[in-house]
A and B are shown apart, each in its own frame.
Chain A
Amino acid sequence: MTDLSVNIAGVKLKNPIITASGTFGNGREISEYYDLSQLGAVCVKAITLKPRQGNPPPRIAETPSGILNSVGLQNGGIDYFLKYELPNLKRYDTKVIANISGSTVEENCELARRLGRDVDLIELNISCPNVKQGGVSFGTDPKIAAEITARVKESCAVPLIVKLSPNVTDITEIAKAAENAGADALSLINTLLGMKIDVNTRRPVLANNTGGLSGPAVKPVAVRMVWQVFLCTRLPIIGMGGIMTGEDAAEFMIAGASAVAVGTANLVTPTAALNVKNELVGYLEKRGIKNVSELIGSVLAY
């Protein structure tokens, strides 16, 4: 029997497969396709203090081997999450990661306080490219990233994951800043800022003009960044970016991720995260690997 369990900042996940925030809602729809207890953890859609409408449609465009989205953090707000969504998720034997995406430092602190110990981990989103306030503006300057991490950490009763943006010159600077400021784990990558234009109408396909690129197209960038961050920090990493198969998951873990999140693939097939998990088991069994954590950072780099 392969041991699939991994440890993220003292929280034991039964397996390394997580759903990436924003691709899974709060699990209700996907739970009609499989038992969420089969996942290591679920990371819920971004939460803000007040309900958020998000950006006007169209909010999605397909690009070569990827998608652009500009949802803009549409969600029902923290009250709705605590009252309606969280109790539903608690019915499953899986860890719950709350993604908080406040537009100010104080809002994120308040969100962390409100969540208290009701979730297993908090993921601080300093990397959303689709909002005017907060989001990626927190995650592209090491000083600002450190400040928000330190402040939110003080308000967190559970381990804090900081979600990093790939829209930076050197991701290791931000990663180290978050680590020094008290982050307990890092997740990467959020989407890459992109754009698609209809050449017939000369209009951008997204009503927001730009959006975040995800899917297989970004995977090599994500793997590279996970590896770079693995080399420069001691924090556990949740790797994500275009994971479609079990081998993709293995690749991220070999690069240095302790767990992985399946995102865009959930939009293609609702059972994607479960399929990735089953394929990862197949990968491990075929190679006689008894413990999935043997993969973490095992890349034989030149």
Chain B
Amino acid sequence: MKKPHICEILDKQELTENTFDMVVSFPQSALPGQFIHVLCGEGVLLRRPMSICDAGRGWLRFIFDVRGEGTKRLAQHKIGDSLDILGPLGTGFNIEKKGEDTPIVLGGGIGIFPLLMLAKSLGKNTEAILGFRTKSLIIMEDEFNEACAHTHITTDDGSYGICGLVTDCLTNRISKGDVSSVYACGPMPMMKAVKKITEASGIYCELSLEQRMGCGIGACAVCVCKSNGEYLKVCQNGPVFDAREVDFDD
């Protein structure tokens, strides 16, 4: 039988103001793109879903921005504290579909977190396109450099790397002709554009979606997204979907 895990916080770093990087003890192995569902502490009722950034034997790493009451409470935990965690949950990225040439992992903002473990699994010829609002918010650049053949950084204000959107960078990169797959996670407008770009160029694409979640295991039917005209459960059928299966125009 499955059960929630009581996990010890092994490490905690504040990467930028409001962004926390936690490593916890974890008894199960996880696949890239899966998530955990975390009880944040006293005064917060529902769990909060967190994408898995990386995992290994006996440990798991996740990164989160403090956005609301849940993440605020979660960030108050210290090294040595315990967290009640469900998981790993959901259907992750299908790395079998990466194709013969260059796979791209593409993320905007907090969407970059689940891409590190994925990049490591996809192999050394993987390239990353990571978007940030501004230079001071750039994180994990070294780690993606380590895992990937090339890491393209974009900033909205041009304070670092390429000025502009990750999707413009993607279009340019695709024009070189050797991109065989795209795996993306980020805000909805970005995902919608990525779907359009990859469909136009016939490139296989997977999207990791986010939605306000309840149980996290597929029982409550709260966290849905539209797929071929029907509502599918983000927590169970996803969070990763074949981009062709996701309907954005509601």
Residue positions of A touching B, CB distance < 8 A: 22-25, 28-30, 32-35, 45, 53-54, 56-62, 65-67, 69, 71, 74, 205, 215-216, 264, 266-271
In the bound complex, what is the Cα–Cα distance between A264 and B212 (angstroms)?
A: 15
B96 near A: Cβ within 8 Å?
no
Chain B min CB distance to A242 (Å): 10
Given contacts A66-B45, A69-B214, contact A268 B1 (CB under 8 A): no
B46 near A: Cβ within 8 Å?
yes
Partner of B231, one of A28, A53, A266: A53
For A205, give the chain B residue with the smallest CB separation: B212
B70 near A: Cβ within 8 Å?
yes
Check B217–A30 contact: CB distance below 8 A: yes
Beyond A29-B218, A33-B1: 5 further Cβ-contacts under 8 Å? A23-B219, A53-B230, A59-B222, A266-B219, A267-B46
Check A29–B236 contact: CB distance below 8 A: yes
Chain A min CB distance to B81 (Å): 19
Could you pull out 11 A-B pairs where Cβ atoms are within 8 angstroms? A24-B219, A25-B218, A25-B221, A29-B236, A33-B3, A53-B230, A57-B211, A59-B224, A62-B44, A67-B46, A271-B3
B100 near A: Cβ within 8 Å?
no
In the bound complex, what is the Cα–Cα distance between A49 and B236 (angstroms)?
A: 25
* Binary contact track B44-84/A, C-beta < 8 Å → 1, others 0: 11110000000000000000000001100000000000001
Check A25–B2 contact: CB distance below 8 A: no
Chain B min CB distance to A43 (Å): 13
- Listed residue (A32, A71, A264, A270) with the most chain B CB atoms within 10 angstroms of its CB: A270
Residue positions of B touching A, CB distance < 8 A: 1-4, 39, 44-47, 69-70, 84, 86, 211-215, 217-225, 230-231, 236, 250
Check B45–A215 contact: CB distance below 8 A: yes
- Listed residue (A59, A215, A264, A271) with the most chain B CB atoms within 10 angstroms of its CB: A59
For A73, give the chain B residue with the smallest CB separation: B221
- Listed residue (A33, A34, A216) with the most chain B CB atoms within 10 angstroms of its CB: A33
B70 partner residues in chain A, CB cutoff 8 A: 62
Chain A min CB distance to B2 (Å): 5
Partner of B219, one of A29, A54, A62, A66: A29
Chain A min CB distance to B103 (Å): 29
Chain A min CB distance to B245 (Å): 16
Top 5 nearest A-B pairs by Cβ distance? A25-B219, A58-B212, A267-B214, A60-B222, A29-B219
In the bound complex, what is the Cα–Cα distance between A215 and B1 (angstroms)?
A: 26
Check A30–B219 contact: CB distance below 8 A: yes
In the bound complex, what is the Cα–Cα distance between A74 and B250 (angstroms)?
A: 17
B221 partner residues in chain A, CB cutoff 8 A: 22, 25, 45, 54, 59, 71, 74
A205 partner residues in chain B, CB cutoff 8 A: 212
Check A56–B250 contact: CB distance below 8 A: yes
In the bound complex, what is the Cα–Cα distance between A54 and B232 (angstroms)?
A: 11
Check A25–B220 contact: CB distance below 8 A: yes
Chain B min CB distance to A188 (Å): 20
B224 partner residues in chain A, CB cutoff 8 A: 54, 57, 59, 74
Given contacts A54-B221, A56-B250, contact A62 B3 (CB under 8 A): no
Chain A min CB distance to B217 (Å): 4
Chain A min CB distance to B10 (Å): 23
In the bound complex, what is the Cα–Cα distance between A266 and B45 (angstroms)?
A: 11
For A265, give the chain B residue with the smallest CB separation: B45
Chain B min CB distance to A142 (Å): 31
For B86, give the chain A residue with the smallest CB separation: A270
Check A23–B1 contact: CB distance below 8 A: no
Check A33–B2 contact: CB distance below 8 A: yes
In the bound complex, what is the Cα–Cα distance between A72 and B138 (angstroms)?
A: 41
Chain A min CB distance to B230 (Å): 7
A60 partner residues in chain B, CB cutoff 8 A: 46, 212-214, 220, 222-223
Chain B min CB distance to A114 (Å): 22
Given contacts A29-B236, A67-B45, A71-B220, contact A59 B1 (CB under 8 A): no
In the bound complex, what is the Cα–Cα distance between A205 and B68 (angstroms)?
A: 13
B225 partner residues in chain A, CB cutoff 8 A: 57
A65 partner residues in chain B, CB cutoff 8 A: 45
- Listed residue (B84, B212, B221, B224) with the most chain A CB atoms within 10 angstroms of its CB: B221
- Listed residue (B1, B215, B250) with the most chain A CB atoms within 10 angstroms of its CB: B215
